[in-house]
């Protein structure tokens, strides 16, 4: 397993519930703020046994991933809403409110 992928999966795996992170953000946490592309690529290659909350990973504008990612955009949206993610009337996520905070890493690890 390459470092990048490992970091991506690790970061995504520790994504808190009720929050959403952008590819660029994850990429940055992985050490490559310009690897947003690679992050998306990793997501596509994300193995199921890791149980990564890929549904919490969205674009910077709050739009969800293509349908084939989870069987339908409504699926991902449903899961996010079920977790407490706030959706705008236009069907997008309230980034300013649900955007994951990297600093949470400290508390996330402390609290478990």
Whether residue 40 contacts residue 23, with contact meaning beta carbons closer than 8 Å, is answered with yes
Q: Which is nearer to DNA, 90 or 111 (CB)?
A: 90
What DSSP character marks residue 70? T
Q: Does 29 bind DNA (CB under 7 A)?
A: no
Is 54 tagged catalytic? yes
Residue 21 CB neighbour total at 10 angstroms: 24
Residues binding DNA: what is the number (CB under 7 A)?
28
Q: Which of the residues 45 through 74 are near DNA (CB under 7 A)?
A: 45-46, 54, 57, 59-61, 65-66, 69
Considering the complex, state which of residue 94 and residue 107 has its C-beta at the smaller distance from DNA.
94
Please list the alpha-helical segments (H only) found in the chain.
Answer: 3-13, 23-29, 36-44, 73-83, 95-98, 104-111
Tokens at residue 33, please?
A: 């703020």
Q: Does 24 bind DNA (CB under 7 A)?
A: yes
Interface residue list for DNA (CB under 7 A): 2, 4-5, 22-24, 32, 34-41, 43-46, 54, 57, 59-61, 65-66, 69, 90
């Amino acid at each position: 397993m390459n470092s990048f992928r490992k970091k991506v999966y690790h970061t995504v795996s520790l994504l808190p519930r009720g929050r959403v992170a952008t590819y660029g953000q994850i990429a940055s946490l992985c050490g490559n703020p310009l690897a947003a592309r690679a992050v998306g690529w990793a997501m596509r290659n994300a193995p199921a046994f890791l149980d990564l909350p890929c549904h919490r990973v969205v674009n910077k504008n709050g739009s969800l991933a293509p349908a084939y990612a989870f069987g339908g955009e409504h699926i991902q949206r449903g899961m996010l809403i079920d977790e407490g993610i706030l959706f705008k009337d236009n069907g997008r996520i309230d980034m300013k409110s649900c955007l994951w905070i990297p600093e949470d890493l400290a508390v996330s690890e402390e609290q478990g």
